[in-house]
Amino acid sequence: MLSLLLVLAASSTILVGAGGEPSLAAALQRARPGDTIVVGAGVYREPALTVGRRITIIGRDWPVVDGGGAHTILTITGDSVEIRGLVIRNVGFSTIEDRAGIKVVEVRGCRLIGNRLLDAAFAIYLAKSSDCLIRDNVIEGHATGEALAGNGIHLWSSHDVTVEHNEIHGQRDGIYLEFTTGSRMTGNVSSGNLRYGLHFMFSHECDYLDNRFEANGDGVAVMYSHGVTMTGNRFARSRGSAAYGLLLKELTDSRIERNTFVDNTVGLYLEGTNRLEIGSNLFEANGWAVTLLGDAFDNRFQGNTFLRNSFDVATNSTRAQSSFRGNFWDHYAGYDLDHDGVGDVPFAPVRLFALVVQRHPPALLLLRSLLVDLLDVAERVLPVLTPAALSDSAPLMRRPG
């Protein structure tokens, strides 16, 4: 306790700008552990800066730290560093190093709060770090090609990181995680990125809650992970031949619940997934609401709502190892004689025409034709090709909730 009081008593505030140090670099040379650097309004053209001690850097009136495009601007190598209120801009892309606006390397307890990062190859980059908070930052890029762009928030080999209420636009991937565990992404908006709004691989036991992913080039991709929870997110306007609201590949023992999938080429795509709970989601106005491949096992769809999708469910197999029960389908034309709210006849969500399009994509031009309607009616009366195992045995007559 005495040592802590001595540190607090010895700490000081260093000003940068009018009446203080001429640059952030000069202030960092003076700073001791526990000091606070306050940066006043202005534009500061700085060299590559390293923060290796426990200090706080606060910007007042949005000072601009300009890297000149040639290097990472701030590299944090000390524990418990806090950066807030800065405008960090102009970090050029490099093919031999991952240049970033703020790079955090092998630290604990960093706090990056309320900054603006503009035109940075990688905006915020964490490597082998833990117990960090990334909150209320605005990241704005103008990337024109994936090969010459970096990610907005990039986490590699880290754990217990909280990423919340950030806005990311115009990067390669909005948020990217690899080998990152036990972390939480909440309330972020990731839109208009070249590839994925969110992309993670080998990142286990993470939670993604109440985020919004819109109009990203390829949507959101989740791969090679387990123990993931994705709840209350919005996946919207991912359109294109290889675009998905949410693509799941080799994901196991996870929950996909209370999300909204709207206006995507494919809302939810499952390949090699096992033991997922997929419940209380809304699938609306997608081309394909759900694409479920034959190598997806023991996934359970329950309490979901399907509205105005061109195809509710598509598959590449006549066999099915996953189940649908108790979902609402606006295409269901059954009846409920006992008035218990559950249809008395099962609903087969895989249309015959969906199988035709799987094999012959140009046939999609016939989607609204009378011929297609007749094919679907014939298949419902005498099912031959559509997988009976994918039927919903207890379709809801009314939308849940």
Question: Could you tell me if 135 and 281 lie in one domain?
Answer: no
User: Do 101 and 194 belong to one domain?
Assistant: yes
Query: Is residue 207 located within the same domain as residue 260?
Result: no
Strands 266-271 and 116-120: unpaired
Angle of CA points 239, 242, 243, to nearest 5°: 35
Write the DSSP assignment of 213-280 as a string of letters. Answer: EES-SSEEEEEEEES-EEES-EEE---STT-EEEEEEEEEEEEEES-EEES-SEEEEEES-EEEEEES
Q: How distant is the alpha carbon of residue 80 from its chain centre? A: 26
Does 168 lie in the same domain as 308?
no
Instruction: Examine the domain organization and report whether 250 and 390 are in the same domain.
Output: yes
> Do 280 and 190 belong together in one domain?
no
- pTM beyond cutoff 0.85: yes
Could you report the per-residue pLDDT of 355-364, keeping only the tens digit for each?
655 665 665 6
Q: Which residue in the block uniquely carries the two structure tokens 């939810």? A: 268
Residues 208 and 125 in one domain: yes
Where residue 92 sits, what CATH number does that domain have? 2.160.20.10
The pLDDT score that the predictor gives to residue 360 is 56
Same-domain pairing of 204 and 246: no
Asked if residue 372 belongs to a domain, the reply is no
The verdict on residue 53 lying in a domain is yes
* Residue 394 is assigned to a structural domain of this protein: yes
Question: How many independent structural domains does the chain possess?
Answer: 2
Q: How far is CA 98 from CA 47, 171, 249, 342, in A?
A: 16, 14, 27, 55
Residues of the chain with pLDDT under 70: 1-10, 318, 351-389
Q: Which of 165, 185, 217 is the last residue of a domain?
A: 217
pLDDT value, residue 7: 44
Which pLDDT score, from 0 to 100, does residue 69 have? 86
Residue 203: inside a domain, yes or no?
Answer: yes
Query: What are the DSSP E strand ranges found in 13-161?
Result: 13-16, 36-39, 43-45, 49-51, 56-59, 64-66, 74-76, 82-84, 87-91, 100-105, 111-113, 116-120, 122-127, 133-135, 138-140, 153-156
Average pLDDT, the chain: 90
Condensed to tens digits (0 to 9), the pLDDT of residues 305-319 reads 999 999 999 888 767
CA–CA separation, 167 and 212 (whole Å) = 10
pLDDT (tens digit per residue) in 238-279: 998 889 999 999 999 999 999 999 999 999 999 999 999 999
Q: Is residue 171 part of a domain?
A: yes
92 vs 103: CA distance, rounded Å: 14
- CA dihedral sign, ordered 368, 370, 372, 378: positive
Is residue 400 in a domain? yes
For residue 91, what are the domain limits?
A: 14-217
- 189-191 and 297-302: which strand pairing? unpaired
Contact call for residues 122 and 150 (beta carbons, < 8 A): yes
Distance CA 232, CA 210 (A): 4
CB-based burial of residue 33 (10 Å sphere; 0-12 exposed, 13-18 middle, 19+ buried)?
Answer: middle
Q: For residues 217 and 273, what is the distance between their CA atoms, to the nearest angstrom?
A: 23
Q: What is the pLDDT of residue 2?
A: 43
Residue 256 contacts residue 296 (beta carbons within 8 Å) = no
> Residue 160: inside a domain, yes or no?
yes
Same domain, 196 and 242: no
Q: Helices H, strands E: what count in the chain?
A: 4, 38
Residue 309 sits in the same domain as residue 398: yes
Q: State residue 278's pLDDT score.
A: 98
**Both 124 and 20 in a single domain?**
yes
Residue 184: Cβ within 10 Å count: 14
Amino acid letter, residue 150: G
Contacting residues for 274 by C-beta, under 8 A, at least 6 apart: 251, 252, 253, 296, 297, 298, 299
Say if 379 falls within a structural domain: no
Last residue within a domain, chosen from 217, 250, 274 = 217
252 and 189 assigned to the same domain: no
Count CB-CB contacts under 10 A for residue 3: 7
Helix residue ranges per DSSP H, 305-393? 352-359, 370-381
Q: Give me 245's structure tokens.
A: 């609201």
